[in-house]
Amino acid sequence: MATMAFDTLRYARRLREAGVPEPQADAQAELMAEAFGFYADNLLTRDHFTEVLNARFAEQDAKIERRLGSMDSKFEQRITALESKLEQRITALDSKVEQSTTALESKIEQSITALDSRFEQRFGRQDTVNRLHTWMLGMITLVLVVPQLQTWLA
């Protein structure tokens, strides 16, 4: 900070010109010089004030940056933990869906197999009935048509 200069001679001269006796003017000038000298270090200049404010703002900016960095780190950890939990839940749900799908496919396959078996049984019986009908139709044809043909042809 720049030190201010106090012109004691000029101060004393102006006091004398204003009508103050010379010993009193000299004493006041010396006291003023002492006071200025004593308080010169405590006077605040614009440059010093700007310098102090800039230093304080820089300190605050650094503190804020540290806090924000810390908060960013904490948020990142929380987000990572949440992502991990979400991934675990999704994996568990995928597993449950897969198990449910497998069980459902198994039930459907069993139902289809049972239906196939029932159809095979019914078709098997129907084949037997069809063979019987075919045999009976052949017999009827032999019994009725052959004698009639013999009569027509004879």
State pLDDT tens for residues 106-116. Answer: 999 999 999 99
pLDDT band at 39 (very low <50, low <70, confident <90, very high): low
Task: Specify the pTM.
Answer: 0.42
Q: What is the pLDDT of residues 67-120, one digit of tens each?
A: 998 899 999 999 999 999 999 999 999 999 999 999 999 999 999 999 999 999
Would you list the domain boundaries of the chain?
A: 1-43, 50-149
Residue 36 predicted with pLDDT over 90: no
Helices (H), the chain: 8-17, 22-39, 46-140, 146-153
Q: Which residues of 92-112 are buried (b: 16+ CB within 10 A; e: fewer)?
A: eeeeeeeeeeeeeeeeeeeee
